[in-house]
Each structure stands twice: as C-alpha cells, then as structure tokens.
Structure 1
Amino acid sequence: MLRRSRRWTARLVLRPPSLPHGHRSAGNDLSHRPARLRVEEDDPVAVRSLHEHGEAPLGRRDPQDPAAGRQVEAHRRQGRATPASGALDEDHDEGHRAGDDHHPHRHNQDFECPHLSKTHEIAATEADQGTRLDRFLAERIGGLSRSRVKALIEQGHATRDGEAVTEPAHAVRAGATYALSPPSPVPARPEAQAMALNILHEDRDLIVLDKPAGLVVHPAPGNADGTLVNGLLAHAGEELEGIGGEKRPGIVHRLDKDTSGIMVVAKTQAAHQALSEAFAARDLDREYLALVWGVPNPSQGEIEAAIGRHATDRKRMAVVEPRSRGGAAGATSGKHAVTRYRTEASWFGAASLLRCKLMTGRTHQIRVHLAHRSHPLVGDPVYLRRIPAASRLLPEELRESLLAFPRQALHATTLGFKHPVTGAMLTFRSDPPKDMENLLAQLGAMPR
C-alpha cells in the first residue's frame, strides 16, 4: 500500500512597514523589514494556489533534495529570504484581493545572488548517469532550489550540448555538457516607460483604458519592462497617491497578454480597496466577444464547471472533475467558475461569434470553458490543440485566414461598475481591435 509522504515548506514572510506618502525604500534592501519564518505543510492544492497568484512556495524542503535542504537552512541561519522557486509568467482576469495587486516587489522576488543569473555549464560524469536533470543541476550549481531549477528547465533555460531540454525528469547522460541560464531578476520596482495608451476615462481615483493585444499587464520574468504598469507609471506617476505605501498603479484585474479590451486601474488606496471588493463580490458587469470554432448548441446558455491547474501541463488550466477519493462528496481541486454565453452570429456551421459574461473570474476562464465544450477560440495558442474538424466547412480562403490568426480571438468589450468614491454607475464599451475586426468583416462578407 502506497503512503503519501508529508513534506514541509519553509516560507519567509516579509512584513514591510507602512511607508509615508511618496516615500520609496531603496532597492532590494530588506534589512529594515521584520521577517519571520513560517513552516507549513506542503499541500499540493495550496502550492497551486500560490502559483495562480504569481507566487511560489519558497525553499521547498524535499527529503530527496539535499541541496534545497541545505539552502533553506543556510538562509535561515543568515536571516535571509529563501530563493523563490519561480512564479508563473501568466496573466489572468481574476479579481484580486485588496493589497494583492501583483506588485513585483512582493511576488517576483528571486533573491538570487548575482552569480546565479549567469550561465552555468556542467559536464556530466559517469557518476551522474541517469540522475534527474533538475536534481543534477541544483546539486552541482548550489544556491538554487530544486523547484526553482525545475521551473527554469520548463521555461526553456536549460540545454544539453546546445540543444534545449524542457523536461525536468530528463535522465542525465554521462559525457554531455548541460547549461542553465537563469534570466536576470526583475527589478524590485518597475520603471516609468512612456507608451501610447488608449485612455477611455480618467479621474483622480481611477483610469479606464482599452488594452491592446500583445501588451503584458505587469512586469514578470520574461517581461521585465514594456508592460502596462510601466506605461501607467509614466502616464500618471505624479498623480498616484500610493498603493501599499508606494506610488504605483493598483492593478485590480488582469487580461491575458494576447486578450484585448477594457481594464480599470486604481490610482488611490481607497479606490483600489473598493474596486477589489467589487471584483471579489462580482458586483460589476463584464462582457467579452469571442470568436470560436463550431456552433454552440444551445445557442445561449451557462457553463458551470470548476477550473484548476492541468494535471500534467502546469502552464494550462483545465475543467476539473469532482474527486472520487480523498475529499468530501462533490469536492473539486479547482475553483467554482460560471460563464454565460449568447451566440451573436455564425458562419457555415464552422465558426461563431459569442458574447460571454463572466459570473466568476478564473484564470483563462472563457478559454477553458469554451474549449471544454469543444468550441475553442480561434487562434488560441494554448487550448486549440489541433485543426478543428469544423474548419473543413469553410471556403479555403476563409479557412486559411482563421487558422492563421495569431492570437486568441477574445476581446473584453464591456466593463460596468460603481465608481469607488462617488457611487455613480459607469459603463464602458469598446469595439474589437483591427485584427479581429478584419477577421469578422471577412466572415461577414462571405456568402453563407
């Protein structure tokens, strides 16, 4: 009989003191901040939850990973934070808790020594033959936890004799040269970078804007700058009263990098608190336009299915079925999620334009729910796994246009909410961007 082992995670919880208006602490100096070490049971669901919110369990202690264990102990003795195991570089449109707006200083702290950001090349010996790659690299490099190394491998930062290796369980080959090239740490505080922003509304409390596809919302590994947060700092830096004691925009919700549409951003702590509570309570109106493969039956309805991390692909989300064992009846390993949809138009029985309304806000919710119903979004690089059979129903020219669309055809078209200070009801609407508009025009111009 197999028994599940119990592992424990050491997490260093930093409690920064409140800062006076306009004050900015220097760099990464944490010496003035009180810290306490909290050890918690390493529960897989809790770990997934941390990943979903841009965090990762720090210093995971694995009985089979002596390097990680030594690292946690060394950092504990020195009173330093343990290097993070790597946060997901993934945007989502899930409402945030107040004070949890994905500020990089809180969520993307790698705390790696400078030498750990350089490329490490290690020649494998006969004694290393067959060892898991993540364990081999963690032990030979030192200073990086095994979970951090695993994340770096999955993100494509490891090679064998110059060829990329993305499987942490890869068996090391004697005589081969392995290299690991960790990316440079993201700056603790984003820099202001001027960029064109499509501002729909702005007052002293908030900004409503139309985000273009291709723009990442906030800095993260792989997107250290050129993000919406960088642009907002340049646009309204002097007007920001401060979120959490620092002058920065309050990101209340996010859109995926390649999803376009309307977002609201807080400029004050009070607005951030009120908007965060509105998103958490779903006391707002959010609608999306989605171009999908096939024609939904019924033409309008509600999709209610829990969403959680995919069982084998950590970069994807999935509809999660109820657990058959190890939990209460009907329990799931995901979060409750509800999407309402209505078919606006359809073409050749092959493609449809849907208007979707979020009743909850989970990571990739619309994309996951529609793919689960066998109606994946046109162009979706994650959830469109093969050429849809419905594409054969389209004229060749149109089929090629839809199959070549370079991103998920999803646009946040409506956002309505109560103003956090005045209480007035605000509603904003946005037409799809040019690339999606051209595709819809091409569909509409074709005879059915």
Structure 2
Amino acid sequence: MAEYLEPEENTEDSDELYEHHRIVVDKRQALLRIDKFLMDRLPNVTRNKLQEAIRSESVQVNQKPVKVSYKVKPQDIITIILAEPPRDTDVVPEDIPLTFVYEDEELLLVNKEPGMVVHPAYNNWTGTLVNALTFYLQNLPTTRHGEGRPGLVHRIDKDTSGLLVIAKTDYSMAYLAKQFFDHTIERTYYALVWGVPKEEQGTITGHVGRSVKDRRVMSVYPDGTYGKHAVTHYKVLRNFKYVSLVQCNLETGRTHQIRAHMKYLGHPLFSDAMYGGDKILSGSPNGSYKSFVENAFKLMPRQALHAKSLGFKHPISKEVIQFDSELPEDFAAVLAKWELYEGQ
C-alpha cells in the first residue's frame, strides 16, 4: 500500500510540496530491483527520477538509504520523498524579467518580487514564476517529464517577496526536497506585525489547518487534534511602539504558517487583509495617526512578509551555503515611514 500527504496550495514554504510515500512490501513479493519495483507503484514518475531520488537518499528501506541495485524483499518498508506528481497543465514559456541571486550547474536562486504568483493555477495560468523559469531554462528536471512545476523545490505566497531556490537537475531536485522534508533548511523571514509581542523572542507551536469557516484561511489548533504540526521561532528586531519588525525562522513550512501563527500570538501581519491586518489594530483609529496608517497601507497593499534568507547543503559540494536578500522597495519604504513616525 502507499500513503500520500496531499500538497497544499499557496504554501509559505515547501514541506507540503512533497509526498511521503510509505510502501509495505507484500509477503509474497519476489526479489526485484527497487527502481523497477517502484515504477509499478508510483504513477507518472520516471525511472530516471526514481534513480536520482535513490542516489540522493530520498528513498529509504527500513529507515536506511539503499543503492539503485538494491533488491526489494518481502515485508520491506519503503519510504519515498518525491516532488509533487505531474499535472495535466501545459506551461507556456514567457520572457518575464527575474532577479537572480545565484546560479550554477545544479541550482538557481531567485529573489521573487511581490505580486508574482509562483506556479500556474486557476485564474493565474500566465505571468507566473514557473512560466518565466520555463522560458529561461528549457531543460529543468520537471519540464523534461512534462510536469507543471519546472525545478520548483518550494514556493511562497503571491504577495510574499523573497528568496526561492530552483533545482536544475533531477538529482538536485531530490537532494533539496529531502532537506526541506527533514526541516534542515535554514529559512528566515522578516515580518512587520501589529503591536509588540510581550516576549522579545520565543517559539510558537500549534497545528495549522484550514479554517472550518473559511477554507482560504488557516487557523491554529493548539491541542493538535486537527491540522499539521507547525513551529515558528520569532525574535523582535525593532519596536516601533504600534508595530514591530519581527524575524521569523521556520522549523516547519505549513500553508500560511507565519501569518496564522502571528495572528494566533495576537500580532497579525501589517496590511494582511486575509488575516485582519489591514485595519488599525494598535493605536487610536482616528486623526493624523489614522491618515498615516492608511498611507502606509497604500504604500504596501500586501502582507508585510519577506523571505529574507536561505541556507542549505549544496547538492554536489555538500557544503552549507547561505543567501541573503534586501527588503523590497515597498517594505523598506513602510519601515522608513514607521521609523520617522516613531522619531516624531
């Protein structure tokens, strides 16, 4: 049998981009090479992709990595971490400007602008990051197999800006996917939130799942009876009295994790309409202060969230590499306004 973890839409990070297959081999199974065995049980996955997953240790038998030549035995327990299965959607290559942070033979880092959708979906079939990547790199691993997510190792929301790593080979796709699944990727976000947390730094732990009232919104379920385990570490970097600049480090990557966790803490993200942050939640809602906040909303009509840095093991050198990015113009401008207002 095989068990699947369904991927979520619009994830802030990538844990849910990957399916965790668990296969218990039948008692009557004859000895068979593992790649051939899995080919019969995982639809729409090429043999090459399976072999690369095995080499990158994304396939394990009885909790241990194996070689491609390993022969499956009765009652073996096989676990597999692979990129999301192919979709039927054709991706149209589009010449869309992108900001590249780094590139080598194995991977590519992009600093995504706010407002850009990462992958094609309903009402967003063109103009996405995937459309741009398909144009820029014609031979990304998933493109060669007709899939709809060329090279995509993780993703962030449309209105979240910041760093994304793209795999250029099947091996790197599997190797990076394993790191995301194991929560060994260093992921740092900057968020502007309403109010000032009581503790300057701390950890938010609470299952994140879709709200029963609104499927677009994620809610926190602290008792763990619903949703998926989620952990966010935060640290206040700057106190502006009415809002705070907060650094968030993800231990897990669930849908809208930072947005849901910060609201649960009592500090929704500034200008985040979906989570109630597009209203004045701290300070007097009238007079010159009201005008100041409304101008700040106009300057940044999106959630104040930026994927600032990424750190991970390089697929080939195995060395930990770290990348950082500057805040986008709208985020930096809003921070400057709050800094000036605080000074006054």
Structure 1 residues 396 and 333, CA gap change in structure 2 (3 angstroms): closer
Q: Deviations over 1:212-248 (max 9, x none)?
A: 11111111111011110110011111x4355673486
Q: Which has the higher strand share?
A: 2
Corresponding residue number in structure 2 for 1:358: 250
Q: What is the match of residue 14 of structure 2?
A: 94
**1: CA distance between counterparts of 2:238 and 2:317?**
38
Number of the residue aligned with 2:108: 207
Q: Secondary structure at the match of 1:250?
A: coil
Structure-to-structure mapping, 1:292-441, within 5 angstroms:
292-322=193-223, 331-347=224-240, 349-384=241-276, 387-392=279-284, 395-404=289-298, 405-441=300-336
C-alpha deviations, 1:258-285, integer Å up to 9, x for none?
Answer: 0000000111110000000000111121
Give deviations 1:82-123, integer Å, cap 9, x for gaps: xxxxxx5x3442323243346432xxxxxxxxxxxxxxxxxx
SS in 1 for 2:102: strand
Alignment of 1:258-277 (within 5 A): 258-277=159-178
Q: Partners of 1:249 and 1:346 in 2: how far apart?
A: 40
Q: Does 1:284 align with 2:197?
A: no
Paired residue for 1:245?
145
Question: Structure 2: how far apart are the matches of 1:391 and 1:190?
Answer: 47
Alpha-carbon distance in 2 for matches of 1:289, 1:219? 26
Structure 1 residue 388, shift from structure 2 partner: 3.5
Which letter does structure 1 place at the counterpart of 2:317? T
TM-score by length of 1: 0.58
Native 8 Å contact 1:104 1:219 kept in 2 = no
Specify whether residues 402 and 373 from structure 1 end up closer, same or farther in structure 2 by C-alpha distance, changes over 3 A only.
farther
Alpha-carbon distance in 1 for matches of 2:141, 2:185: 24
Listed one character per residue, the Cα deviations across residues 290-325 of structure 1 (whole Å, up to 9, x for unaligned) are: 001000110111111111111121111100142xxx
- Give distance in 2, aligned partners of 1:234 and 1:306: 38
Gaps of 5+ in 1: 1-37, 41-45, 55-87, 106-187, 323-330
Partner of 1:104: 87
The one-letter amino acid of 1:350's match is: Y
Q: Which has the higher contact order (CA 8 A, sep 6+)?
A: 2
Matching of residues 140-179 of structure 1 within 5 Å: none
Contact 2:141 2:151 in 1 (8 A): no
Structural mapping, 1:21-100, within 5 Å: 50=6, 53-54=7-8, 90-95=10-15, 96-97=17-18, 98-100=81-83
What secondary structure, in the 3-state scheme, does the structure 2 residue paired with 1:302 have? strand
Q: Are the aligned partners of 2:269 and 2:277 in contact in 1 as well (CA < 8 Å)?
A: no
Change (3 A) 1:234 1:220: same
Partners of 1:284 and 1:416 within 8 A in 2: yes
1:79 matched residue in structure 2: none
Residues 389 and 316 of structure 1, relative CA distance in 2, 3 Å threshold? closer
* Residues 180-202 of structure 1: CA deviation (Å, up to 9, x unaligned): xxxxxxxx220110110101111
For 1:221 and 1:344, how far apart are their aligned partners in 2? Answer: 37
Does the C-alpha gap of structure 1 residues 380 and 103 become closer, same or farther in structure 2, counting only changes over 3 Å?
Answer: farther
Given that 1:292 and 1:354 are in contact with CA atoms closer than 8 Å, whether structure 2 keeps it comes out as yes
Q: Whole-Å Cα distance in 1 between the matches of residues 12 and 211 of structure 2?
A: 15
**How many residues are aligned here?**
275
Give the CA RMSD over aligned residues. Answer: 2.3
Distance change in 2, residues 1:259/1:206 (3 Å): same
Letter in 2 for 1:93: D
Counterpart of 1:392 in structure 2: which amino acid? S
Tell me the SS of whatever aligns to 1:376: coil
Q: Which amino acid aligns with 1:410?
A: L
